[in-house]
Amino acid sequence: MSAARTGSRRASPRVADESTGATRPHDPRIDEPTRTDRHRVWWWLALLALCPLCVGVVVWVTLSFNGSYPTVKAPVPAGWQPVDGIYASFSVPKAWTLQQGLSDAVGDVYYAGPGGGAGESVTEASRPPSTNSRPPEIVGTFLQQRYVVSSFAPYKLTNASLAWRYRFKLADGTVAVGIHAWVRSSETEVWLVASPSSATVDRVLSTLTLSH
């Protein structure tokens, strides 16, 4: 994704200063993030993921990160808790807890507790995904066993350019469900997978909220 190196440094983008009318260098701390800013965040998260001791800290930072990057607030039913993240958020019952072994520093988070569990993966994707290809490896990681896609259908989700609702049949006969979405404006691809299929996990999926 990085540009080829040349003999001179690429000039920083400039923005208009509303107070003076003059232009100034782009400042990612206060200005709307550019594509380069977003790429830099993904790169740093991936780099930090290489350090096992950093995973817990970085997961917390990822979930709590505000700055100038878009975070969204998911609806929180009574007795539930929010799982805030960059570009996508959802909610789970308060009795569910973060599962460190299934969460990491590059946009994957998994919560589980009485009645089931749910995992969310957020990745960079500049092109729309295809339903003709097999779901990414993280889906199998969240489901924790072999599975087949039993069905999928278009799904209406606010701010999603494309979205589908999936049903998975697991090796032990359990049925799991999930939502796969892509947001063109932020170039992000989101998977939210939950099991076993029940009124609780259906409610978890219904709280998925995407940024613009």
CA atoms within 13 A on the CB side of 28: 14
Residue 97 lies in a domain: yes
**167 located within any domain:** yes
Q: b or e along 144-167 (b: 16 or more beta carbons within 10 Å of the residue's beta carbon)? A: beebeeeebeebebebbebbbbbe
Is 2 inside a domain boundary? no
Answer yes or no: is 43 within a domain: no
CATH number at residue 143: 3.40.1000.10
Q: Is residue 160 assigned to a domain? A: yes
- Residue 30 identity (one-letter amino acid): I
Cα 162 from chain centroid (whole Å): 15
Cα angle, residue 127 at apex, residues 68 and 157 outer, rounded to 5°: 70
Q: Which amino acid would we find at residue 156?
A: K
- φ and ψ of 96, to 5 deg: -85, 145
What integer pLDDT is reported at residue 131 of this predicted model? 87
Q: Strand, helix or coil at 123?
A: strand
End-to-end CA distance of the chain: 23
Specify if 5 maps to a domain.
no
- Residue 58 in 3-state DSSP? helix
pLDDT < 70 stretches in the chain = 1-69
At 203 the pLDDT is 98
Do residues 160 and 182 make contact, with C-beta atoms less than 8 angstroms apart? yes
Domain count of the fold of the chain: 1
The answer as to whether 161 is a domain residue is yes
Query: What is the tens place of the pLDDT at every residue in 113-139?
Result: 999 999 999 999 999 998 888 999 999
Nearest CA to 180 out of 98, 111, 115, 119 is that of: 119
Query: pTM of the entire structure?
Result: 0.70
Specify the 3-state DSSP secondary structure of 206.
helix
Question: How far apart are alpha carbons 81 and 102 in whole angstroms?
Answer: 19
Chain Cα centroid distance, residue 165: 16
pLDDT at residue 106, rounded to an integer: 72
At 200 the pLDDT is 97
Q: Which domain holds residue 140?
A: 52-210
In a domain, 91, yes or no: yes
